[in-house]
């Protein structure tokens, strides 16, 4: 099974994915809810 977390995180940081897409990835079970929160937290730290 491919680990989508790192790819999704990098694309989110680049602005290619937005918050609504993260929820789609959770529903598709590509990432967990916890991983979604980690992505949102890590990018919030870089913005502030």
pLDDT at 47: 62
Residue 16: domain span: 5-47
Residue 46 has pLDDT above 70, yes or no: no
Q: Count how many Cα atoms sit within 13 Å of the Cα of residue 42 in the half-sphere of its side chain.
A: 14
What total of structural domains would you count in the chain?
1
pLDDT in tens, 12-38: 999 999 999 999 999 999 999 999 999
pLDDT at 48: 57
pTM check: above 0.95: no
pLDDT at 2: 83
């Amino acid at each position: 099974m491919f680990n989508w977390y790192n790819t999704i995180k990098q694309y989110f940081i680049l602005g290619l994915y937005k918050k609504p897409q993260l929820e789609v990835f959770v529903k598709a079970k590509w990432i967990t809810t916890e991983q979604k929160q980690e992505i949102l937290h890590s990018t919030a730290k870089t913005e502030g």
